[in-house]
Structure 1
Amino acid sequence: HADALLAAGGSGVANQGLTGCDGVTTGAVADTVVAPYNVVPELDHTVAAVIVEPVAANMGLVAPAPGFLEGLRAACDSVGALLVFDEVITGFRLGRGGAAGYFGVVPDLWCFGKVIGGGLPVGAFGGRADVMANLAPLGDVYQAGTLSGNPLAMAAGRATLELLDDAAHERLTATATRLGDGLVAAFADAGLAAMLPRVGPLLGVFFGDMTPGDFDEASVLARNGVYPKVFHALLARGVAFAPGAYEVLFPSLAHTDDVVDETIGIAAEAAAEVVGDLL
């Protein structure tokens, strides 16, 4: 993370109602333009880079609209800006090639985390050889960290990635599909309006009758007060969803069909309770 660059944020920042930029210098905020997701911005030669989650997963789950990522690639190319994919969530989850492989749009730089550490703290970035050549010792940009290349994290990450073959990714997607379809039916049967967008093994949960396409639309649904009620009704029954409405669900290889089906059944009970309280 580079929180000194943070001008606005979703996830925990949005859940807690924080500005996201307190403690960040005025100059850093002024140098950052926050653009709406799923809209290709007009760029000029003063823009150094466009940084984007290829699948937005910090405003709930918002999928890229057709042509959005391709449009960003073309816009960056037209002015010489770098396209940077934040694949901390999508990397090695959507597939072995991450979002770049999934959508066929290649950025200039990638950011990774989470999955590549096998559950241990880790972060990594990489990209085009000519861009990376600016880093020392080949170039003049110095980058280092106390825990860079930590052997325990590297071993755990390598073991995890070796297990995540194509069959594992297919199973993850099948599990997310089973869970998403089951939750849609459970909520509908209880009379609770819900939208559960899915991209590969990533699953979002919005309570309302529209699928959001950007942060503003997602925020309307996240603030309607339904998600916390469902969360606590589920938690009381032994099911822990993401604690905030701006998060997403990550089914894992440990979630069997039996576990998924049990979760769906409990969700039906929780939804019925919530609907009863809302009436």
Structure 2
Amino acid sequence: MKPNTDLNDALMARARQVIPGGVNSPVRAFRAVGGTPRFVQRAQGAYFWDANGTRYIDYIGSWGPMILGHGHPAVLEAVQKAALDGFSFGAPTEREIELAEEILSLVPSMEMLRLVSSGTEAGMTAIRLARGATGRTKIIKFEGCYHGHADALLVKAGSGLATFGHATSAGVPPEVVRHTLVLEYNNIAQLEEAFALHGADIAGLIIEPIAGNMNFVRATVDFTRRCRELCTQHGALLIYDEVMTGCRVALGSAQSVYAQSIPGFEPDITVMGKVIGGGMPLAAFGGKRAVMEQLAPLGGVYQAGTLSGNPVATACGLATLREIKKPGFFETLSAKTRRLVDGLSAAAHETGLPFSADCEGGMFGFFLLPELPRNYTQVMKTDNTRFNQLFHGLLDRGVYIAPALYEAGFVSAAHTDEDLAATIEAAREVFKLL
């Protein structure tokens, strides 16, 4: 039963007085789905509790990092020990080397990497590095892919291939995005035409291999192969944004999944975050030695950060990676995620509700559509009203999914069979009402 005084409402009213929209990241505001955000008081395992003390099964997991669940003992111990030694030094530590070595061992396309504090910072610098390494200016990105809120990447599609994108945020001057070309995801013909028109000027192509900000949309194998071929042919760098998918869809990240179908496949630069920080502010970008040595202090591409390689964050990330490397971890996690997705699909189809779903490793997504979409335009056909009803129906039954139609979901090692069964049963009840 809902308390007479909803503390979430009270906290939101208070937050709005001092924080724009009451939140420090827009999707948290529930503007897409309506209602009041849940203010989390604590979390443990697969659950969090809000200001009213209500428990929810958590399928956002801090938007992906909590692959082990909240408060994993080994991670907690590592963080507590690191904190005792100091929060931040502004000088190098051995743990930065250890974390870099661990990541490089998992993602062999990278020979060197640089640690930073956020996915936005990593993506922004990867673009700068591609331009600096090639001496070119133009960048290709794809509609529906999100690479952080750097000015050059806050772009929507232009009116055609001869014109470049238009800024999607106030405060981004047109001249900042005039070198960014926005194409349709999974559209090979458009990709080929873009390189035919602009190939000599393209510094890099940045892409989410599985787009987690269109909910969950895979790049096809043929499209992925063509991205690699065209970048190689025209001397552009292929940048894989694995902030979300890195060490989440597979131990070797999404690029290892595509390499199974495309022998020898690898990107030139990889952007990572989320899981490699274990929930702390930490991200990275890396690539071949010749590219990475373009960075200061060795080369002319500048990047710096006061908190880069933070000793507490690196302890958290290192402990997380060491846990997910254990034998059988990803097989078990993948099976859990598949069980959830199959159960949701079966429950939806019992009611005749249009529904499609997909997953890889510990990442999943679903659509109120009869078939999985392949690009942003198709994603936009999802019934937004029904999704909002589904979101609140699940929330009322103690299940927390992303409060927006366009966000992927995440399963952790802490989710039990009972959690999955409870989620599927809650969804079945809500599906009958839609």
Query: How high is the TM-score relative to the length of structure 1?
Result: 0.91
Structure 1 equivalent of residue 351 of structure 2: 190
Contact 1:117 1:156 in 2 (8 A): yes
Q: Which runs of 5+ in 2 are unaligned?
A: 1-119, 125-149, 157-166, 260-264
1:181 lines up with 2:342 in the alignment: yes
Offset, 1:219: 1.3
Distance in 1 between residues matched to 2:332 and 2:155, nearest whole Å:
35
Structure 1 match to 2:233: 78
1: CA distance, partners of 2:328 / 2:352:
36
SS of aligned partner of 1:177: helix
Partner amino acid for 1:119? G
Distance in 2 between the 1:156 and 1:99 partners? 22
Question: 1:173, 1:201 within 8 Å by CA — same for their partners in 2?
Answer: yes
Matches of 1:260 and 1:103 in 2, distance apart?
28
Could you list the runs of 5+ residues in structure 1 that have no partner in the other structure? Answer: 10-18, 275-279
Query: How many pairs does the alignment contain?
Result: 264
Whole-Å Cα distance in 2 between the matches of residues 49 and 66 of structure 1?
A: 19
Instruction: State the Cα distance separating 1:273 from its structure 2 match.
Output: 2.0
Q: Deviations over 1:120-167 (max 9, x none)?
A: 111110001110010112112121112101111000000000001251
Tell me which stretches of 4 or more aligned residues in structure 1 moved more than 4 Å: none
- Give a deviation string over 1:20-78, Cα, whole Å, max 9, x none: 33222212211101111112312111111000001111101111213111110000001
1:248 equivalenced with 2:403 (yes/no): no
Q: Distance in 1 between matches of 2:153 and 2:297?
A: 28
2:429 aligns with 269
Distance in 2 (alpha carbons) for counterparts of 1:114 and 1:20: 24
Cα contact 2:155–2:180 (8 A) shared by 1:
no
- Report the alpha carbon displacement of residue 170 of structure 1 after superposing the two structures with TM: 1.2
What SS is found at the alignment partner of 1:78? helix
Alignment RMSD: 1.4
Identity across matched positions, percent: 41
How far has the Cα of 1:210 moved from its partner? 2.2
Higher RCO, 1 vs 2 (CA within 8 Å, ≥6 residues apart): 2
Distance 1:54 1:188 in 2: 28
Match among 231, 249, 266 for residue 106 of structure 1? 266
In the other structure, the counterpart of 1:203 is 364
Aligned twin of 2:177: 29
Structure 2 partner of 1:68: 223
Match of 2:87 in 1: none
Bigger Rg, which one: 2
Whole-angstrom CA distance in 1 between matches of 2:405 and 2:233: 37
> Is residue 7–residue 34 contact of structure 1 (8 Å, CA) maintained in 2?
no
> Could you say which residue in structure 2 is the equivalent of 1:277?
none
Show the 5 A alignment for 1:52-201.
52-104=207-259, 105-165=265-325, 166-201=327-362
Whether contact under 8 Å (1:63, 1:199) holds in the other structure is no
